[in-house]
Amino acid sequence: MKKLFVILALLALLVACAPQKPVQPVVEKVEEPKASFNVNPPAEVKTEAAPVEVTEAPKAESSGPQTVKVDIVGFKYVPASVKIKVGDTVTWTQVDTVKHTVTIVAGPENFDSGLLTAGQTYSHTFTKPGTYSYKCTPHPNMRGEVIVE
Ligand code: CO
């Protein structure tokens, strides 16, 4: 009798020490919504127009300073007139075999490229608004302008 008790006690101990079964996560059964075949919306639902998303045009300042190109070709500045913003740069590219200059005639700032040979470029960054008239020193009939806003 005592032996049986010891065995039972050992068994009880074994059961107590046995690793607990991991608790199974309770998976809740989610009922799938039944497809509604009601085509017509309820009368009380107002069909409002979707709000119009206003996309602001990017400001010129946010896109950073720009560089505008002007060619010196055929005794002309092409284009002869460019409109830019303060901080922008104009780069002239001399194409003709004859030498030309980009020389200020009137404007808030002075600049002069000096004689440019074919293939040379000259750049000027405009820091003050206004209209800049320029010419070619050897060929004063060559005229151009930069309008800085
Ligand atoms: Co010239």
Q: What are the pLDDT digits (tens) for 69-114?
A: 999 999 999 999 999 999 999 999 999 999 999 999 999 999 999 9
Three-state SS for 23? coil
pLDDT recorded at residue 8 = 45
Taking the CA atoms of residue 132, residue 136, residue 142 and residue 147 in that order, the dihedral angle to the nearest 10 degrees is -10
Distance 76 CA to ligand 1 centre (A): 8
Q: Which residues surround ligand 1, an ion (CB under 5 A)?
A: 100, 136, 139, 142
* Residue tagged 């092409």 (tokens): 78
What is the per-residue pLDDT across 106-142, written as a single tens digit (0 to 9) for each? 999 999 999 999 999 999 999 999 999 999 999 999 9
Distance 85 CA to ligand 1 centre (A): 26
- At residue 148, φ and ψ (nearest 5 deg) are -110, 120
Identify the CA nearest to 148 among candidates 83, 90, 99: 83
